[in-house]
């Protein structure tokens, strides 16, 4: 069973967004871009590097460059269980 996004975030995963710039196979002087997102672990980024290896083996358009950012959505200090009751007149 695949873990939910919340479970991944609580395990330390963050959202990684990468923009791949690559040459078109038939027009090598033209650059195109592709956006990729997945939950990944920083600083090693195993899923991102797995995708880069897949691209280099399976995709005809050679990579020019990759830009990426990583954002942890929840950190250990931000997640708290709050219990309370408010009474309004």
pLDDT digits (tens, 9 = 90+) for 3-56: 888 888 888 889 999 999 999 999 989 999 999 999 999 889 999 999 999 999
CB atoms under 10 Å from CB of 18, counted, come to 20
pTM of structure: 0.76
Strand order in the sheet with 31-40: 31-40, 14-23, 63-71
Span 36-45, pLDDT tens digits: 999 999 889 9
Name beta bridge partners: 40: 14
Nearest Cα residue to 46 out of 21, 14, 74, 72? 14
- DSSP E strands: which ranges in 24-88? 31-40, 63-71
């Amino acid at each position: 069973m695949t873990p939910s996004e919340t479970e991944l975030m609580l395990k330390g995963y963050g959202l990684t967004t990468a923009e791949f710039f690559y040459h078109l196979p038939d027009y090598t002087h033209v650059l195109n871009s592709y956006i990729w997102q997945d939950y990944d672990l920083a600083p090693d980024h195993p899923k991102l590097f797995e995708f880069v290896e897949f691209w280099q083996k399976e995709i005809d358009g050679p990579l020019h460059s990759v830009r990426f950012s990583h954002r942890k959505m929840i950190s250990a200090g931000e997640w708290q269980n709050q219990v309370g009751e408010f009474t309004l007149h």
